[in-house]
Chains A and B, each alone.
Chain A
Amino acid sequence: MEVLINDFSPGLFVVQTILLLGLIFLLVKFAWKPILTSLNERESGIKDALAAADKARTDMQNLQADNEKMLQEARAERESMLKEAREIKEKMISDSKELAKVEGDKMLKQAQVAIESEKKAAVADIKNQVAELSVAIAEKVIKEELSSSEKQLKLVDSLLSDLKLN
């Protein structure tokens, strides 16, 4: 102990205290402060970058999911549009078919009616002509028959005989 106390140098103690104090101040000012500040900045930068990367990844995933969804929607829409078009086409076809049929029927009926009326007119015409013809024939026959008084008397006789019989 005595040796230790004897070895203790107050001068060295003072010098060491002053030098250490100076060293601490200089190092804090010129080394530790900038080093620790930039280390902290770097670490927070890395942390932020990692967080940003994570966020970007989730954003990307969301975007991809959105894209997928939109694609699916578009596909569905296309499907439905195609279906609709097909339906429209079929409907149009059937509609026009029906329309054509109705029109045809109508025309057919009109034709039939026309034919009928034509036929009737023709038949009436024929009847008239036949009647005129028969009247003319009958006129001629009668004229022929009654051309002599003998023939007239004969006829009157036959008619009278018929009457007698009754």
Chain B
Amino acid sequence: MKKVSETLKTAALLFVICFSLQGFASSDEDQNLSVDTKDEVDAYITHHIKDAHDFHLFSYTSNGERKHVGFPLPVIVWSSNGLATFMSSAFHHDDDGKVVVERNGSSFVKLHSKIYELEAGASQVEFDETHHATNAHKVLDFSITKSVMGILLVGLFMLIVFSSLAKQYTSKKVPTGFGRVLEPLVIYVRDEIARPNIGEKKYRKFTGYLLTVFFFIWILNLLGLTPFGFNVTGQLAVTAALAIFTLIIYTVSGNKDYWMHILWMPGVPVLIRPVLAIIELAGAFIIKPFSLLVRLFANISAGHIVVMSLIAIMFTLKNSLGVVGATGLSLVLSFFITLIEVLVAFLQAYIFTMLSALFIGMAVAEHDHEHEHDAQGHELPDTEDVRGDFI
């Protein structure tokens, strides 16, 4: 195991070095991408928030040439002529649809971090007045983008770390080393998230999913705070996939009582029941997953935007505060916001997992308990019933 991880480390290092060197070689002459004005800052932040097709570390200007350091990532797209694959370096860091790459009989351009395929016969992109491409359409993009790379790295990291923790238990009762840090986290998710929300009898079946999601989101959130600039959990597609997993799990494992409470709510007048059913169906299939995906996406994106905006104070307030003042203010503010973001990284992972557990718990809850009745003989809700109102 140790040998394998050593080898993996070496391979990863070689990979990074090779592509970095290649990155050094690539440069484009005409663009000046320095970021000074407010518009440029906005554009830079927007660009960062989006997924990227190459791994960009930093840029610098030497001899009037703008050089980018980083490494390209594979582009895999499904075009009208079938699958096309090439390295993202083919675009030469162009993001405005100027460089046309021809592969497999199709022409591709990259426009605002998206790959477009030119209509047949077109040799370059034409824009309408709102800067939308008129003669190109988006393609289904399965590229190993920066986000996919982040997912792969985190997935690999989780597999190595947690399977080695699992292996420790075969030889000893209490893990040592890094496992001693991981074990309380696993127990925390099991005892504070899965067990109380799903219930003692059924929590075990869902704990695997909850643990995976918790660590996946948390590590990716933390990765987003590093200067590598991953923004995986700030991608709608990623949070949507996570939310849909939860949706599928609680829909599939919902018991008779759960569907009863959705479709034909007991204890209310019959005429209201169809209305309630509509509301409950909307809640189960739209509101719950939507709240999950938007909360995570918005919090992480907002965090990235705030941190980058505070860093940008350095440039935008340079004239009014002076270089030292603007830099100092920017450093102090972004330092504290980053600290808060570290908390948010955990909090969002916790909330996502907690709510997933809660939704699953509501779907599998046993309603065999007797309701208390008030003086008029109406059922009184108990904690189990009103839990949903507080979400």
Contact = CB atoms under 8 A, between A and B. Distances in A.
Contact of B187 (A10, A17, A39): A39
Contacts of A32: 162, 166, 186, 207-208, 211-212
B152 interface: yes
Contacts of A144: none
A19 B145 CA distance: 13
A165 interface: no
B15 interface: no
Contacts of A121: none
B242 A20 contact: yes
A36 interface: yes
A10 B140 contact: yes
B159 A26 contact: yes
Contact of A24 (B162, B187, B212): B212
Nearest to A8: B236
A104 interface: no
Interface residues of A, number: 31
Given A16-B147, A23-B216, 5 more contacts: A11-B142, A13-B237, A27-B163, A36-B208, A39-B186
B107 to A, nearest CB: 19
9 contacts: A9-B51, A11-B78, A11-B143, A13-B237, A15-B142, A17-B245, A24-B245, A32-B208, A32-B212
A contact face: mostly helix, strand, loop, or mixed: helix
B166 to A, nearest CB: 4
B155 A19 contact: yes
B169 A34 contact: yes
B241 A36 contact: no
Interface string A1-30: 000100111111111110110111011101
A90 B140 CA distance: 118
B240 interface: yes
A37 to B, nearest CB: 8
B159 A42 contact: no
Interface residues of B, number: 46
A35 B145 contact: no
A12 B235 contact: yes
A42 B51 CA distance: 44
B208 A27 contact: yes
A27 B158 contact: yes
A17 B241 contact: yes
B241 A23 contact: no
A38 interface: yes
B99 interface: no
Interface string B203-231: 01001110110001000000000000000
Interface in B224-276: 235-238, 240-242, 244-245
Nearest to A3: B46
A26 to B, nearest CB: 6
A31 B159 contact: yes
B152 A19 contact: yes
A31 B165 contact: yes
B173 interface: yes
A23 B51 contact: no
A12 B236 CA distance: 9
Contacts of B73: none
B180 to A, nearest CB: 13
A15 B211 contact: no
A12, A14, A22, A45 pick with most chain B CB within 10 angstroms: A12
Contacts of A8: 236-237, 240
Contacts of B114: 9
Contact of B151 (A16, A24, A33, A45): A16
B318 interface: no
Contact of B237 (A10, A27, A38): A10
B158 A19 contact: no
